[in-house]
Amino acid sequence: MTLEQIIADIRKKIYKPIYFLMGDENYYIDRLTEFILQNVLDESEKAFNEHVYYGKDVTAGDIDNLARRYPMMANHQVIVIKEAQNVKKIEDLEYYARNPLKSTILVINYKYKSLAKNKKLYKEIEKNGLIFESKKLYENQVPEWIVTYLKRKKCTIDPPAALLLTENLGSDLSKIANELDKLVITLPQGQTKITSALIEKNIGISKDFNNFELQKALGKKEILKANRIVNYFGDNQKDNPFILTITSLYSYFTKVLLYYYVTDKSPRNLASVLKINPYFVNDYQVAARNYSAKKVVDVISLLREYDLKAKGVNANQVPPSELLKEMTYRILH
C-alpha cells in the first residue's frame, strides 16, 4: 500500500494491528507514525492508551507483553516503538505477529534498514498486519517531490528553485520539508510561488553561485560567469565542497553525452530519457551544440581525474580552490 492509501484507511478507522515501517527514508516513517498518533485516539483516551518507547529500552518480550494488554476506556491502545532497529532479537516478535490483539495498534519504526522477506517475522506481519517500506528518492526525483509537497500546501515553485533546493539539500526529505515549511511561512501575503530569490533571502542558498548555475555557465561556455562562480566557491569552500561540485558536473555531462544517443529528440522524450524537468531540456540542447560528443567524453574523464586529485591522488597538496579553477579552465578550453 502507498502512504496515501494507508492514511486514507486510517481516516476511515480501518486499522491494522501491526504497522511495520522500515527503510532508509525517515520522512515517510515519521509522517505515518505521527498521523497514527494524532488520529486514532481522542485526547481523552491518550493518557492511558498511548505509549511510546525506544528500541534500546525494550526487548521483543517487553513489546509482546505491552501489546497483549487491553485498552482502558477506549477501543484501542496505540504502542509506538521508535528506533526499533535497536531492539535485540526483534525476530522474536513473530509469536505475537501470528495472533496480534485487534485492540492494539502496534507501530514499529525500523529505520535505516529493511527486514528480510524470508524472515518469519516479515511473513507473519505481512499476513496479519502491514509492512511499509520507505525508500530513499533518487536525487532526480526530488524536484518533483518538492512540487507535489508544495501543491498540498496550495503553493507552487519555479523549476530552477526546486533544483536549487535539491542541489543544496540533497535527498533528505525531512530536511527539505522543514525548509519548505519555513519558506511557505515567509511568503508575502497573497503570494503562493516560491522563487530562487526567496530561497536566497530566507535560507541563505545563493541563487547565482551554486552548482546548478555553474552547470549552465559551462554548458553555455559563459567563461566569465563560470569563473565568477568558481572564485566564489574557492572563497566559500565550506558551503561548496569540491567533491560535491565534481559529482554535480559528472551527472550533468553524463546526461549531455546521453543526449547524443537519443534518437527522438523531442522535448518530452528528452525529458523522459534524461530524467529531467522539461523546463531544462533547452540547457542540454545548448550544451550539446557547444561540446562535441568526443569533448564530453574528455570532460567526463577529466572529472574522474579531478575526483582522484580531490581525494589526494597525484595532487601534491594543491588546495581544492586551485584544483577547481584548473579543472574549469580545462573543461572550457
- Looking at CATH, the fold of the domain delimited by 211-332 is given as Zinc Finger, Delta Prime; domain 3 (1.20.272)
Name the grid cell of 186: 515567509
**Which pLDDT score, from 0 to 100, does residue 315 have?**
67
- Range 3-133 classified under CATH 3.40.50.720: no
**Which pLDDT score, from 0 to 100, does residue 139 have?**
82
**Which pLDDT score, from 0 to 100, does residue 208 have?**
86
> Which of 106-132 are b and which e, b meaning 16 or more Cβ less than 10 Å from the residue's Cβ?
bbbbbbeebbeeeeebbebbeebbbbb
Sheet holding 50-54, edge to edge: 50-54, 77-82, 104-111, 18-23, 130-133
Tens digits of residue pLDDT in 14-44: 999 999 999 999 999 999 999 999 999 999 9
Q: Say if residue 206's pLDDT is above 90.
A: no
Task: Give me the percent of the chain exceeding a pLDDT of 70.
Answer: 100
Torsion on CA atoms 174, 177, 182, 188, rounded to nearest 10: 180
- Looking at CATH, the fold of the domain delimited by 139-203 is given as Helicase, Ruva Protein; domain 3 (1.10.8)
What does pTM read for this prediction? 0.75
Name the grid cell of 304: 574522474
**Which pLDDT score, from 0 to 100, does residue 194 have?**
94
Helix axes 281-290, 211-219, angle to 10 degrees: 50
Tens digits of residue pLDDT in 141-200: 899 999 999 999 999 999 999 988 988 888 889 999 999 999 999 998 889 999 998 998
Rounded Cα gap, residues 23 and 322, in angstroms: 40
Q: Say if residue 316's pLDDT is above 80.
A: no
Q: Say if residue 313's pLDDT is above 90.
A: no
Tens digits of residue pLDDT in 209-257: 899 999 999 999 999 999 999 999 988 888 889 999 999 999 999 999 9
Report domain extents, the chain.
Answer: 3-133, 139-203, 211-332
Side chain identity, residue 206? S
